[in-house]
Amino acid sequence: MRIDEQDIENIKNQVNIVDLVSKYINVTKKGNSHIALCPFHSDTNPSMHVSEEKQIYKCFSCGEGGNAFTFVQQYEQVPYPKAVTIVADFINYDMSKYQKQAATKIDEKKEKLYNLVKNASEFYNFCLVSEDGEEGKKYFDQRKIDNNIINKFKLGYAPEDSSKILMFLTRKGYSVEEIEEAGIGLTTGGVFTDRFKGRVIFPLSDLNGNIVAFSGRKITNQDIAKYVNSNETSLFKKNELLYNYYEARNEIKKNNRVYVVEGFMDVIALSKVGINNVVATMGTAISERHLKALKSLNVEIILSLDADDAGQTATFKITERLLNIKGLQVGVTKTTKDDKDLDDILNHQGKEAVIKHLNNTYSIYEFIFYYMLNRVNLNNHSDKINFVREFTNFMNLNIKDRIEREYFANLLSEKTGLEKTLISDYIDKTPKNVLKSSVVNRPNIGEKRDRYYRAEVQIIKQMLNDTKAITYYLSYLRVMYDTNNKKMALYICDAYQKGVSIEEMLKDLEQTDPEIHLGIIKILNDKSLPENFNPDVFDVVKHQKPLQMDIDDIDKKIKVAENFDQAVALNKEKQAIKSKLDKLKRQYTPKKGDLDD
């Protein structure tokens, strides 16, 4: 679809970019500008500036920027013409002349199926309020679902008489084959059957808001499946959608949080109490498409699946997947085996109990701890020890923060009755009686991933193996930015100037400074670190590190800039320094895996 330049210009002139961006994310006024957490990277400190005067946005961290159209294009992940029409809809700009043009560009067969499913949804919704829907209405009344909720979620009822939907849709111009292709029914022995007959209907929308399928729930005690879904079609893949995702997006962004629940009724229960930033997995395993959709929201994720074994196991599987995605903030609502699902909590305990339940959360690590703990017989010594080994192994792989590691060491000791010193040995992976002669994984030495830190470690390795590196350090560099690295370099230089060997130095450090002793042992034993003297690595610390520090300082200034122009000026200064830094980096190109990630 081609949109006239004049229309594009008119829309651009009429939209207020601050209002538009605020529709998607929280925007705060600061001085003459507005700031926000950037939705295009894992931002924890507002890096995006939105200028009402210039009608542009710019993230001074990841570099994303542009006008109203490019913001929508990036955020919605849609082509430019679609972004223009979204902005036009936002300001109620008339785009009707393009609708026919756009329709010709869409796969006609697919478009017809979209319309068919939409018409079927309208039919089911109408039947619910007609005489045919008396049983369905009675069911929703029992679940305390009123007309407002019915209309909001487009709920419906499929009559027992399948000929009614067949007649309705064929009169709309659809063939029986198309109705079957849309996943609504099937023909057996020449007789058409609505697969949802006698069930209440929950329409399912894709991530773009198009109704693509249905889920039907039984309302009698018949020995049949509780839920029946549309079969997968060209429009519908169950593992590609989350219930209520499209409808909830704006609320999710405004609240900077999304609740992930299990079923339709959980979403509806929360909607009743005014919580609308909710999506449901519909009981299916979490897929890559689900993870991508959740990550793209760039908000806190709160998992609140059912408290039964199936729900908690599903939660555990989701947390395992989420752990592999960097930059996510994840919480899990606390449950006990006696807890009900959200709909039951609302109906039996009321609104306040629901809100209290949602606000009572574990961190992702705490949930995994208690999930594992609850499946251990603590009265069995062997099971207890295996649990400690399993969770400390998990900690060593996933939890790097020293305060968190201390917290879980105390928790393990409290819950198992084992001495904390024993548990700490497991956390450090190596028993204490061999620490002094082994390479250890201490979180404060050797764990950092910064290229400049790694350059410092390489320099120390060279100084330990070649006196030329020591003399070069003393005459040329004489600085380390990491505290432990600085100590190691000072000890090595001091030993060299006093004529003390590295072996003698280490023997002394074993008694006087065991932490630095262990750090040097680790570097000596790290076969991946080059041993030969290389002055280029010294340049990384001497020339590149100060420039990086200047860039980091400017980033901090940008975050507190009073207005957009000030932020732009600072960013210009930052880019000039970055250009100089990039040039220096190109002059020293390390081997793969040497300094860079």
In 3D space, the residue among 352, 365, 262 whose CA is nearest the CA of residue 304 turns out to be 262
CB atoms within 10 A of CB 495: 19
Select from 236, 271, 306 the last residue of a domain: 236
Alpha helix segments (H runs only) across 91-133: 99-105, 108-128
Residue 203 carries which side chain, given as an amino acid letter?
P
Q: Which value, to the nearest 10 degrees, does the dihedral of the CA atoms of residues 339, 342, 348, 352 take?
A: 100
Sign of CA pseudo-dihedral 410, 412, 415, 420: negative
406 φ/ψ sector (left φ>0, alpha ψ -120 to 50, else beta): alpha
User: What is the full DSSP assignment across 252-283?
Assistant: HHHHTEEEEESSHHHHHHHHHTT---EEE-TT
**417 and 510 assigned to the same domain:** no
Question: Does residue 36 form part of some domain?
Answer: yes
pTM of this structure: 0.60
**232 and 112 assigned to the same domain:** yes
Question: Does residue 446 form part of some domain?
Answer: no
**582 and 529 assigned to the same domain:** yes
CATH of the domain at 577: 1.10.860
Question: Does residue 595 form part of some domain?
Answer: no
Residues 6+ apart with CB under 8 A from 517: 436, 506, 509, 510
pLDDT tens digits, residue range 568-588? 888 899 999 999 998 888 876
Contact 304, 335 (CB under 8 A): no
Contact 150, 130 (CB under 8 A): no
Q: What is the Cα–Cα distance from 483 to 486, expressed in whole angstroms?
A: 5
CATH of the domain at 80: 3.90.580.10
pLDDT score, position 448 = 42
Residue 325 carries which side chain, given as an amino acid letter?
I
Question: Does residue 443 form part of some domain?
Answer: no
pLDDT score, position 97 = 79
**48 and 95 assigned to the same domain:** yes
Q: Which value, to the nearest 10 degrees, does the dihedral of the CA atoms of residues 146, 151, 157, 158 take?
A: 180
pLDDT score, position 347 = 83
Contact 322, 293 (CB under 8 A): no
Question: Does residue 416 form part of some domain?
Answer: yes
Q: Are strands 278-280 and 257-261 parallel, antiparallel or unpaired?
A: parallel
CATH of the domain at 209: 3.90.980.10
pLDDT score, position 563 = 82
Residue 244 carries which side chain, given as an amino acid letter?
N
CATH of the domain at 343: 3.40.1360.10
Residues 6+ apart with CB under 8 A from 125: 150, 154, 155, 156, 201
Contact 62, 50 (CB under 8 A): no
**125 and 230 assigned to the same domain:** yes
Contact 157, 135 (CB under 8 A): yes
Number of structural domains the chain divides into: 5
Sheet holding 56-59, edge to edge: 28-30, 33-36, 48-51, 56-59, 65-66
**564 and 463 assigned to the same domain:** yes
Strand ranges (DSSP E) for 338-400?
Answer: 361-363
Contact 116, 174 (CB under 8 A): yes
**366 and 381 assigned to the same domain:** no
Residues of the chain with pLDDT under 50: 103-105, 430-448, 592-593, 597
**576 and 460 assigned to the same domain:** yes
Backbone angles phi, psi at 221, to 5 degrees: -90, 15
In 3D space, the residue among 47, 37, 34 whose CA is nearest the CA of residue 552 turns out to be 47
**395 and 326 assigned to the same domain:** no
Question: Does residue 540 form part of some domain?
Answer: yes
Select from 370, 396, 413 the last residue of a domain: 370
**231 and 215 assigned to the same domain:** yes
Question: Does residue 204 form part of some domain?
Answer: yes
Number of H helices, E strands in the chain: 28, 16
Sheet holding 278-280, edge to edge: 278-280, 257-261, 300-303, 330-333, 361-363
**529 and 462 assigned to the same domain:** yes
User: What is the full DSSP assignment across 196-231?
Assistant: TTTEEEEEEE-TTS-EEEEEEEE-S--SS-SEEEPP
Tokens 């023997």 sit at which residue? 507
Sign of CA pseudo-dihedral 291, 296, 298, 301: negative
Domain that residue 176 falls in? 108-236
Question: Does residue 593 form part of some domain?
Answer: no
Sign of CA pseudo-dihedral 528, 530, 536, 541: positive
Beta bridge partners of residue 333, listed in sequence order: 361
**576 and 456 assigned to the same domain:** yes
DSSP state of 243: B
